């Protein structure tokens, strides 16, 4: 069952040419979720990189927040047609997370607390394209927006930026995640309007 926030004001793309096709500009931050917001204690939070053989690396909250962090200024685009420009995040680059991981796999499945999954090619998580974000607008990321940590992959539709992220599994094939199994595009490029299959 989806959870959706109150309505929000928006402007059409014609007045904002930096928006991808079919998008509307909003200054709000709508909340859309595939289920209830999980309650995650920081003492219990863990992030794991794994492959078919099992865990490769893991971080507790203290270990994770001790990693080098970056400030990220970016636009975000939701498949439901809203876009928010110039958002401010802080988090750890996936390039940092994968620095010690060796793999021949080309794909990943992102896993969240609460059971949500989404598939992303590994190449789209590296080279300064994706982060594990734990702050928004200078404040700890609120649970309804994916806190304590969400994936941030701003060059793809926002459903790929999984909330409440807990791990990434490396895999050889591009298997579909939750929304992809339900008709969403397997990749999700907003500039190509890759909303659905």
pLDDT of residue 154: 98
Domain 24-29+44-171: give its CATH code: 3.90.420.10
pLDDT of residue 14: 53
pLDDT of residue 12: 52
pTM for this predicted structure: 0.90
- Note the pLDDT tens digit of each residue in 79-131: 999 999 999 999 999 999 999 899 999 999 999 999 999 999 999 999 999 99
Q: Give CA–CA dist 89/141, Å, rounded.
A: 9
Which distant-in-sequence residues (6+ apart) come within 8 Å of 153 by Cβ? 120, 124, 125, 129, 130, 160, 161
| Percentage with pLDDT > 90 across the chain | 84
Domain ranges of the chain: 24-29+44-171
Q: Are the C-beta atoms of residues 116 and 38 closer than 8 Å to each other?
A: no
Q: Are the C-beta atoms of residues 103 and 122 closer than 8 Å to each other?
A: yes
Give the Å distances, CA to CA, from 137 to 42, 141, 146.
Answer: 20, 9, 14
Say whether pLDDT at 176 is over 90. yes
> What average pLDDT is seen over the chain?
92
Q: Write the DSSP assignment of 159-173 as a string of letters.
A: GGS-SSEEEEEEESS
Say whether pLDDT at 161 is over 90. yes
Q: What are phi and psi of 181, to 5 degrees?
A: -70, -20
- For CA atoms 187, 148, 94, 101, the dihedral sign is negative
Helix (H) or strand (E) holding 181: helix 178-181
Say whether pLDDT at 149 is over 50. yes
Which distant-in-sequence residues (6+ apart) come within 8 Å of 186 by Cβ? 119, 174, 176, 180, 197
């Amino acid at each position: 069952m989806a959870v959706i926030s109150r309505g929000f004001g928006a402007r059409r793309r014609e007045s904002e040419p930096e928006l991808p096709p079919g998008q509307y500009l909003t200054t709000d931050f709508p909340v859309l979720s595939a289920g209830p917001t999980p309650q995650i204690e920081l003492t219990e939070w863990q992030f794991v990189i794994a492959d078919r053989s099992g865990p490769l690396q893991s971080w507790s909250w203290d270990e994770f927040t001790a990693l080098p962090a970056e400030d990220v200024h970016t636009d975000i685009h939701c498949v439901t047609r809203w876009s928010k420009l110039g958002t401010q995040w802080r988090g750890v680059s996936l390039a940092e997370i994968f620095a010690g991981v060796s793999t021949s796999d080309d794909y990943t499945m992102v896993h969240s607390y609460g059971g949500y999954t989404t598939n992303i090619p590994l190449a789209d998580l590296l080279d300064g394209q994706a982060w594990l974000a734990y702050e928004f607008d200078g404040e700890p990321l609120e649970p309804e927006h994916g806190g304590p940590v969400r994936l941030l992959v701003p060059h793809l539709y926002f459903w790929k930026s999984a909330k409440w992220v807990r791990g990434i599994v490396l895999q050889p094939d591009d298997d579909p995640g939750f929304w992809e199994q339900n008709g969403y595009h397997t990749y999700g490029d907003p500039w190509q309007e890759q909303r659905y299959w």
